[in-house]
Structure 1
Amino acid sequence: MNKIIVYERQNFKGMSREFTKTVPSLIDENFNDCISSLMVIGAPWVAYEHPNFKGRQFVYEEGQYATVEGKKDITIETNLCFSDFNDTASSHIVHRGVWVLYEHGENIGRQLIAQAGEKVANYGDLGFNNQLSFLRPLKYGAPTVKAKIQWEKMVKESEKNVKIDELVGVNRSDTEQSFSSTATKEYETYVSQSITFSNSTTITVGTKLTLDIVPGVGMETSISASKTFTVEKGKTESTTTKEKTELNLPVKVPPHTELTVNVMRKEMSVRVPVEFTVTRGSNTKIEYGEYRCSSGSSVHAEYSSKQLK
């Protein structure tokens, strides 16, 4: 949802109004000439000094403006003041995006808004000929990303039982003997998860999303991942969780018997396609990535014994 929230006082205080579509006049909203701070969510908004889109223009990109005079740092921009193209432009074609053109450097002076697909053959008609000194693209609001793991397309890469410990009790006497001084022993389990994006992804660094880990039929006892996996692209795209589990040990060893306990951990690795739904404003795009999970969270004991002579 693209919207702008305007406030009566600075620092987002006082009366407020929320708009999601074009407002030709704030007089009709009983909010004229009283905006002191604002928030923009999604696509940029252009405010005008006078009703019906007249007067000076004020451009606000996604973010919070504690005062309407506040300026945000812009890193994608072009300053023509120090080039041989300063004050020489007379026309433009916009291939994509929305741009702000300024009369002077560093976002100063009269400005024009140029939109995708626009072709202006002569700045003279706009009173802007040979005046362009600075321009920058408006940054679109951050996309919303929803992820769905396609468990029905899961590929099981490996599944095996790995021996992680061996305990041996030997009783050469004629009576039962205790196997161990403790009834249980602690072992480590783990779950490793990661997500990869396609090389052509439009999902930008810093985007956060949460995957609902709901395995398909038959997966519940094999993959013991947490119910959700939170990812921040470029920062936390993988995680490993380690826990402790207790295993019950035999209480007694029969007479003239050697009892062996093999402690086994079931380990499994899978990879699953992930469908990403990326929404920017009114545009939605489907992308694909991959979820991987390696789990060693199931520990059990296998017993064997032999008679001693």
Structure 2
Amino acid sequence: MRSVTKSYDSRRCIRLARKGGAPSPYPQFTPRCTMENPNSVRAGSDKRSRTPGDFVENKNGEDDLTGKGRVQCPSLCPKIIFYEGRNYQGRHWECNSDCMDTYRHFNCCNSIRVSGGHWVAYEKPNYMGYQYIMGQGEYPDFHSWMGFNNCIRSCQMFPPYRGAYKMRIFNRPEMMGHMMEFMDDCPNVYDRFRYRDIFSCTILEGFWIFYEHPNYRGRQYFLRPGDYRACGDWGCHNPMVGSFRRMRSGM
């Protein structure tokens, strides 16, 4: 008796699978976190152009590879470059870690490039004075980082945060008075909090930025997890906060 070997028609199987028949012989492939062309936008995704170091999420809103916390795509090492001239001209200095005093590296700063990580630049040495929070990108003049002048004398680096965000704000010092809890950005504090002043706060998760005026304008204040019993604890002499947001990629 002659044996008969049945041929497997893959195209027919796929058609049946689409109609609810036999399963497809091909495994379902879920794309993992990959580098993309910064100028390309995948069909069906958001319209924002991705840049190296952005997070790629799956269809369920979870981060690929783990499905839990954020996993960052491969990127360049965290680095910030300070230029003495505008538009990245003149003498420059590259930094990839905290620096308490930049005076010996450059005299003034009129443009900046950030190739990775989040950075907080300070007007004065020892992390004092005006604060400027910057993510990955290019800043051709000090107005582009909302600077009040071209003086930067210290800086700190913070790696991208991979967890949730949560904080509580109060309209009285020592975490007293009216309280509200937030887990997202707020472009206008008064519209949601009904108070223009934040006298104290508790950062439960994530890094946050307070702004002096609504729509993320004015002086900036960087806050990490912990209790801030008075506005002076985050470097402000005035409790007025117009807006705040999470410090994250693609700000």
TM-score band, normalised by shorter chain: 0.3 to 0.5
Higher relative contact order (CA closer than 8 Å, sequence separation 6+): 1
